[in-house]
Amino acid sequence: MTEPTDTQQYSFKAETKQLLNILIHSLYKEREVFLRELLSNASDALNRLRFETVTNRDVLDLNAELKIHITLDKDSRMLTIQDTGIGMTKDEVIENLGTIAQSGARKFIEATKDKNTDLTSVIGQFGVGFYSVFMVAEWVRVTSRSFRKDDEAVMWYATGEDNYQIGHTDMSERGTKIEIKLKEDAAEFAEEYRLKNIIHKHSDYIGFPIYIGEAKEAVNKQTSLWRTSKQEVTEEQYTEFYRQTTLDFEDPLLHIHMATDAPVQLYALLYVASKAERGVFSLRKDDGLKLYTRNILIDEYNKDLLPEYLRFVQGVVDSEDLPLNVSRETVQSSGLMPKLKKVLTNQVMRELENLAKNNAEKYQAFWQEFGLYLKQGIASNPVDADTINPLLRFKTNLNPETWSSLEEYVSRMKEGQKEIYYIVGEDSKSVLRSPHLDYFHSLGTEVLLLTDPMDSFMLMGLHKYKDFDLKNVAQAEVDTTQKPKDQPEAEKIADIDFNSLVEHFKQVLGERVADVRASTRLYQSVARLADADANANPELQRVYKYLGKEYEIPKKVLELNPSHTMLKDLLNLEAGSELQNIIIEQIYDSSLLVEGLHPDPSSMASRVQQIMEAALKQKSG
């Protein structure tokens, strides 16, 4: 190599300067991670070269060994890391080491404000890993030669201050060489035993041999974590791998490590995060799994390996069965994908079931974060309902604070109960006040509370669990010969009076209701709205509402409680008086309200005021 020629000076962007400043002056802990970052870059470059050669044989040094070579000189405090990877052109060097990473730098600087974050463990995830070299370097010189035969070699030099230099240079072999002059207090990184230690700790899994000095044997194990047998991987290693690849500061909720040979060969290492929402720093830009074939990354966000409802699962899948010469596009159409998907889906569902069985507490945490996805899965893949059903959890009127499975519900069912009851509503508080529950409350029958918008969608695919149909309490036929024991039966309004009251309701409400009639299943409530058509589908009505579709809610039947004191008092008012009329209006509006169907609740305010005024007048009058 000769001295670089026509060197030009460039200035780092403001954020990069700030970042370098932080790296150089405040991050002393675990400076060793700079080596992990440089080796990971070398490994990326080697991977990219390998991917390139799948389709392109016209590359420089086609047959050179894919490797990383480290040389050390303790006396001069020099450390050199050289790879035979894809290399960089001058423009790429400017782009990759000089100007990009702006957004990453900004995010990293943001992250340094949170004192709890262990920055060194995740620095690579900000796309600024290369700069971590300045934690230990007095100066750094990068020499690179692209795999494209016609491009010249390039040199980049910086001290971590404001500027960097770029020039042409001579280098005959393909790849990138990084020469580091270590700071005085970083001389340890020119010690062979120290480097070996760091490599074993952080970079053992790099899939290319790392040689130090003249040694013929690679320092690293060279097998990726997902290809390592389960017995040899510790919990810490699973967690570290997760953090490295996701930039999630929290530990994962679950990891699934699998290797199979039939019906397809695959290795997979999958994770479920502890939170559904991606962290602010997350670099995971999309759903999907990383798909490798024989250690070559062919797709970073593959969405064909799991059904959509498991899209919260992240991680790596590696299969030897995928042909090597597949492009990212043709992999989708390869007949192998459905097989991989089936194996992976079964495994994930099995692991979730095991978690539910063996660790209820952790499973609840999972359900709280990801239950939504499974519900959606039932709506969009009803054929999978049988495998998803056991994973569902519900709050109920009798157990409103804890999560129950359908199995638990069924095991608590009363003798003779033939259906699983549920009620749909806006939130569990208001739903518990629903008049549809009167009868069930009184008999102590358990009812699932479905208060999540996704529940209505789920119900479109969930009709049965085992032998039991699911039934909306609003529509359930009730056996009114069964009377609650502990409730004295209130005296009914005489038929003749009740009928005139019904007529009166009909007059006031007119076209707005399909009918007004007596109810046989109300105890505490005055009235309830029932569907006129026994086959109506209240879930679908809600789905339309959530989707914002123009949809006229079918007219309902207003059912009145013939034993309710309020109706008795209403009868005592002057027939056809204004007060009687507005109370009838309010009974109807309140029913709409608890049903979550009221189009404009605030419109009731003036009427409620009128009613209050009347009540106060009575008291004082």
- What torsion, rounded to 10 degrees, do the Cα atoms 383, 384, 387, 393 define? -110
Q: Which of ligand ADP, Mg ion, none sits in contact with 45, Cβ below 5 to 8 A by type?
A: ligand ADP
> Residue 394 has which token pair?
């519900």
**Residue number with CB closer to ligand ADP (130 or 267):** 130
Q: Which of Mg ion, ligand ADP, none sits in contact with 538, Cβ below 5 to 8 A by type?
A: none
Report CA 378 to chain centroid distance, whole Å: 17
Q: Pick from 12, 130, 312, 363: which binds ligand ADP (CB under 6 A)?
A: 130
Least distance (Å) from Mg ion to the CB of residue 7? 25
Least distance (Å) from Mg ion to the CB of residue 100? 11
Report if residue 41 touches Mg ion, rule: CB under 5 A: yes
Ramachandran region, residue 6 (left: φ > 0; alpha: ψ -120 to 50; beta: rest): left
Q: Which of ligand ADP, Mg ion, none sits in contact with 88, Cβ below 5 to 8 A by type?
A: ligand ADP
Phi, psi angles (nearest 5°) of residue 198: -65, -40
Phi, psi angles (nearest 5°) of residue 501: -65, -45
Distance CA 246, CA 441 (A): 47
User: How many other C-beta atoms lie within 10 A of the C-beta of residue 540?
Assistant: 14
Q: Which of ligand ADP, Mg ion, none sits in contact with 473, Cβ below 5 to 8 A by type?
A: none
Report if residue 33 touches ligand ADP, rule: CB under 6 A: no
Least distance (Å) from ligand ADP to the CB of residue 79? 14
Eight-class DSSP state of 518: E
CB 562 within 8 A of CB 499: no
For residue 176, list its beta bridge partners: 83, 144
Distance CA 29, CA 33 (A): 9
In the shown chain, the binding pattern of residues 78 to 97 toward ligand ADP, with x for contact by CB under 6 A and - for none, equals -----x-xx-x-------xx
**Residue number with CB closer to Mg ion (129 or 562):** 129
Report if residue 345 touches Mg ion, rule: CB under 5 A: no
Part in contact with ligand ADP (CB under 6 A); list of ranges 42-50, 456-464, 469-477, 563-571? 42-50
Residues 76 to 135 in contact with Mg ion, rule: CB under 5 A? 129
Query: Which amino acid, residue 456?
Result: S
DSSP string across 357-385: HH-HHHHHHHHHHHHHHHHHHHHH-GGGH
Least distance (Å) from ligand ADP to the CB of residue 467? 55
Helix, strand, coil percent content, the chain, rounded in steps of 5: 45, 20, 35
Q: Which of 212, 165, 220 is nearest to 190 (CA)?
A: 212
Q: Pick from 22, 32, 41, 135: which binds ligand ADP (CB under 6 A)?
A: 41
> Residue 15 has which token pair?
């954020």
Q: Which of Mg ion, ligand ADP, none sits in contact with 85, Cβ below 5 to 8 A by type?
A: ligand ADP
Least distance (Å) from Mg ion to the CB of residue 41? 4
Residues 165 to 194 in contact with ligand ADP, rule: CB under 6 A? 176
Q: Pick from 33, 42, 119, 273: which binds ligand ADP (CB under 6 A)?
A: 42
Q: Which of 515, 519, 516, 529 is nearest to 492 (CA)?
A: 519
Residues that bind ligand ADP (CB under 6 A): 37, 41-42, 44-45, 83, 85-86, 88, 96-97, 101, 124, 127-130, 176
Residues that bind Mg ion (CB under 5 A): 41, 129
